[in-house]
Amino acid sequence: MHVSGYNCIAGQRSAQGQTLVYSIDAHTGERLPGAFHQATLDEVDAAVAAASAAFPLYRQLPATRRAEFIEAIAEELDRLDDDFIALTCQETALPSARIVGERGRTSGQMRLFAQVLRRGDFYSARIDQALPTRTPLPRPDLRQYRIGVGPVAVFGASNFPLAFSTAGGDTAAALAAGCPVVFKAHSGHMATAERVAEALIRAAERTNMPVGVFNMIFGSGVGEALVKHPGIQAVGFTGSLKGGRALCDIAAARPHPIPVFAEMSSINPVLVLPQALETRGAQIAKELCGSVVQGCGQFCTNPGLVLGIRSAAFTAFIEQLGGHLAEQAPQTMLNAGTLTSYSKGLQALLAHPGIEHLSGQAQAGNQAQPQLFGADVSLLLEQNELLQEEVFGPCTIVIQVADEAELLRAVRALHGQLTATLLADEQDLPTFALVFGALEERVGRVLVNGYPTGVEVCDAMVHGGPYPATSDARGTSVGTLAIDRFLRPVCYQNVPDSLLPAALQDANPLGIQRLLDGIPSTAALSRLT
């Protein structure tokens, strides 16, 4: 399968630089055919200039036109064939069934944003009609809707080469919002990124989008220049705490600071409550093991911390969980760097006197061994960093607490999380209402009797949460609300219908719901002034 290794700028391929980077076979560690041209600073500049030039045109297209583009992307993604699937598997060591599923998820995500554009609630249109006879002063006609913030830089994640990458959730949300994208390809799947970028460009051409609506650059040194570029107005990122925080710091230090929506580190606590443990502890141990090792533990929502109240039943549960984990085969990780990080994370846990290794083969070789650790609750209460930072891979830490009161203290010691899960029977719930409330204040999503891995793409999803889960708890990177990150409100005072966007025109030509003098309404209106 031919790889050009060229950057995509304004709908053209570009390879001005001499620095070459290579994609690696995740199973063998060997270089794959083809070389990728790291973008030069001029190319970064050209990519942002292309996005900036596209912005005024693209943002003012009817939302239905943007929906057509996004649906065309979905079609192009669905057409990516078995060779493409094989290529992605080669780059990431993820199994083909997973990549086939992720392809469907990624095109489905695009189609969901097209629906959002067609239904129009993303505009958040509001109209306060003029009150010309109000005293002491009349009220002018005031209308509000939301426009895109401008060109968005998106950084792909390693662990979802499709759904959180080139045409992933951040790109979909930005394009839906009317924001052109400059995408920085992840080094872990550059050939995959090239194929997906080509699909995006085909969709843009088919639907006559402005050139520059989507651009992609390669290279390890280009991210900082991209985030610093004055043309970039917001950043989407999924990856490590270190990487995400670095981008936040760069963005905050700009002459004109911009928001960074970084999804970073979460240990996703799972609380196994007494009654549930009593009635189905063995089943929970088996299911939880499945959630820990799924996809080699390479999910942002991987359960990294298990909490329960000390009891004979919980001791038995820990043994069962350890037993299941010991039976799991090692798996190949996304790339050598991921395996190195995993090994280092395990070493830090093994070296700590307050942490006990409970189950798992010694980590060695080129695959990741599932691991179970036990930690003293005092470490959590003291906010020891080892217990707050994600060990990315098939590893989890179990902590026993004395009682409900200590469980509440433990929850209150947690940093921000993407998810928290209660495994609970009906009788557990009244006892743990305070715990539930404390979890709400620390997470983006609370689950009861489910497992955090598996993130539904829908209107109600929140894949976000307080720091360090993300850099901005008010956002989500999965689900339709993700579009909000890239929109800002604009108010029109006494603006004639001819200059107003369709969403705010008197006749309501889009037929959308608007907050009209404080009441939701789809009505047309006649101007009072």
Binders of its own copies among residues 493 to 522 (CB under 8 A) are 493-496, 498-499, 513, 515, 517-518, 520
CB of 194 to its own copies, least distance (A): 29
Q: Which of 1, 362, 458, 507 binds its own copies (CB under 8 A)?
A: 458
Residue (315 or 494) nearer to its own copies, CB: 494
Residues between 85 and 104 with contacts to its own copies, criterion CB under 8 A:
101
Q: Which of 127, 306, 346, 379 is the binder for its own copies (CB under 8 A)? A: 127
Q: Which of residues 226-245 bind its own copies (CB under 8 A)?
A: 233
Tell which one of 137, 312, 329, 364 touches its own copies (CB under 8 A): 137
Contact predicate 266/292, CB 8 Å: no
Q: Tell me: does residue 283 bind its own copies (CB under 8 A).
A: no
Choosing from 149, 235, 368, 510, the residue that interacts with its own copies (CB under 8 A) is 149
**CA 104 → CA 32, 85, 109, 320, distances in Å?**
26, 12, 8, 35
Q: How much of the chain is helix, strand and coil, in % rounded to 5?
A: 40, 20, 40
Choose the stretch contacting its own copies; rule: CB under 8 A; options: 193-201, 216-224, 305-313, 487-495. Answer: 487-495
Can residue 316 be called a binding residue for its own copies (CB under 8 A)? no
Residues 54-73 that bind its own copies (CB under 8 A): 55-56, 59-60
Interacting residues with its own copies between 173 and 202 (CB under 8 A) = none
142 binds its own copies (CB under 8 A): yes
Range 9-38, binding its own copies (CB under 8 A):
none
Q: Does residue 119 interact with its own copies by CB under 8 A?
A: yes
Q: Which residues contact 135 (CB under 8 A, 6 or more apart)?
A: none
- Shortest Å, Cβ 433 to its own copies: 7
| Nearest CA-CA partner of 247 in 444, 480, 470, 20 | 470
Which is nearest to 105 in space by CA: 54, 148, 66, 163? Answer: 163
Closer to its own copies by CB, 42 or 459: give it: 459
115: three-class secondary structure by DSSP: helix
Structural tokens at position 9: 């700028």
CB atoms within 10 A of CB 165: 29
Q: Which of 296, 300, 389, 390 is catalytic?
A: 300
Give the residue among 110, 230, 115, 118 at the shortest CA–CA distance from 171. 110
Query: Hey, CA dihedral for 252, 254, 255, 260, is it positive or negative?
Result: negative
- The tokens describing 417, both together, are 């999380």
Nearer Cβ to its own copies, position 104 or 374? 104
Decide: is 210 part of the binding site for its own copies (CB under 8 A). Answer: no
Nearer to its own copies, 20 or 429 (CB): 429
Coil/strand/helix, residue 297: helix
Nearest CB to its own copies, comparing residues 24 and 51: 51
The DSSP result for 31-90, as a single string, is: BPSS-EEPPPHHHHHHHHHHHHHHHHHHHTS-HHHHHHHHHHHHHHHHH--HHHHHHHHH
To its own copies, the closest distance from the beta carbon of 257 in angstroms equals 6
- Whole-number Å distance between alpha carbons of 208 and 426: 55
Active site annotation includes 76? no
Q: Is 524 in the site for its own copies (CB under 8 A)?
A: no
143 touches its own copies (CB under 8 A): yes
Annotation says 300 is catalytic: yes
Instruction: Compute the least distance from the CB of residue 93 to its own copies, in Å.
Output: 22
b/e map 406-443, b = 16+ CB within 10 Å: bbbebbebbbbbbbbbbbbeeebeeebeebbebbeebb
Q: Is 460 in the site for its own copies (CB under 8 A)?
A: yes
Name the region of 384 (left: φ>0; alpha: ψ -120 to 50; beta: rest).
beta
Q: Which of residues 386-425 bind its own copies (CB under 8 A)?
A: 415-416
Active-site residues, by number, are 263, 300
